[in-house]
Structure 1
């Protein structure tokens, strides 16, 4: 696979990962009653939106449009959040759920970073920023455990 195709596919992975973070937080925010974790999640939401927008812009710049998250994945995530927060919506549980999602994000983007090692350095740097964002989110959420 050529460098251009690697870059486009990698950008799509970054975009979908960030959009999943946006969707997850938007779903969780409707269940949160604690102002402190609510504010933290709003902060994280803006960070995911920035990464998603940057990946989207890069895709457009390369005359491509990223594929969105599948409807099945969106529905599955929404149902999982609904069930988990119905059972327990305290800040510790919300933080635990988010940390698990952040960890999945780090793993997914790290795998993509290794798989698409021929991608443009600019896009690899975006992936590195995304991984750092996920790791920072984990650290920020630990205070709620």
Structure 2
């Protein structure tokens, strides 16, 4: 795979990861009643939207189209949020769910970063920013546990 395609593939993974964060939080916003966790969710969703938009722009600059999240993954995420919030929608439970999701995001992007060593340095730095965002989200959510 050439460097250009490698970079686009990596950007697409970042894009899908950020879009999954938006999708999940959007599903959660209708399920929470506590204002403090609601405000945190809105803040985190905006951060994911910024990353997704930046990744989208970078992909377009490279004359490609981003690959969106699969319908299966969207439906799975929605069902998971629905089931988990039926169990409990208290801030501690919601924070725990999101921390697990953020951890999966860190793991996924770190694996991609390690396997896309040929991608542009700028894109690798972008991936590092996304990982730091996920880690910051985890730290911010800990106060709700």
Shorter-chain TM-score: what band? Answer: over 0.9
- 2:107 match: 107
Alpha-carbon offset, residue 63 of structure 1:
0.6
Give the TM-score normalised by the residue count of structure 1.
0.99
- SS of the residue aligned with 2:6? helix
Partner of 1:95: 95
* Alignment pair present for 1:130 and 2:139: no
Deviations 1:88-109 (Å, cap 9, x if unpaired)? 0000000000000000000000
State yes or no: 1:57 paired with 2:57. Answer: yes
- Deviation by residue 1:63-117 (Cα, 9 ceiling, x = unmatched): 1001100000000010010000011000000000000000000000000000101
Q: Which runs of 5+ in 2 are unaligned?
A: none
Q: CA RMSD in A?
A: 0.5
Matched, 1:80 2:85: no
Give 1:143 deviation, angstroms: 0.2
Rounded Cα–Cα distance in structure 2 between residues aligned with 1:2 and 1:115:
14
Moved over 3 A (4+): none
